[in-house]
Amino acid sequence: MDNKVPNNTITRDIKDLAAPTGNIYETAVILAQRANQIALAEKKELNKRLEEFRNERDTMEETFENKEQIEISKYFERQPKPCLVAISEFEDGELSYRFAKSDEKAE
């Protein structure tokens, strides 16, 4: 992740966020979908890293955590939230999006 993405929420002007799409609701949908993509990718990466520590005989009662597992988990906790990354990408013009064509026929 880039260091330019803040770890805390910052105040943004809604008009600036809505400017590229012309509609704040469309912008919100784009940001939500991108945040979901980022969160899913992070979850897959975390599970992949933690899979190395999984033991076949581990059960819910016998889960042993070692220092490396804790460090990996803390690393992911320190990462910026997916919604903040999505907003940063959107503001920097790094996101590409397209709208579905609407077939509006008046009857």
Do the beta carbons of residue 72 and residue 50 sit within 8 Å? yes
Which candidate, 2, 3, 4, 6, places its Cα nearest to that of 84?
Answer: 6
pLDDT at 37 exceeding the cut of 80: yes
Residue 74 DSSP SS3: helix
Q: pLDDT band for position 15 (50/70/90)?
A: very high
Q: What does the block give as tokens for 20?
A: 């590229």
Do the beta carbons of residue 90 and residue 31 sit within 8 Å? yes
pLDDT at 5 exceeding the cut of 80: no
Which tens digit of pLDDT belongs to each residue from 41-68?
999 999 898 887 776 555 555 555 678 8
Residue-averaged pLDDT of the chain:
82
Do the beta carbons of residue 71 and residue 77 sit within 8 Å? no
Domain residue ranges of the chain, discontinuous segments joined by +: 14-54+62-91
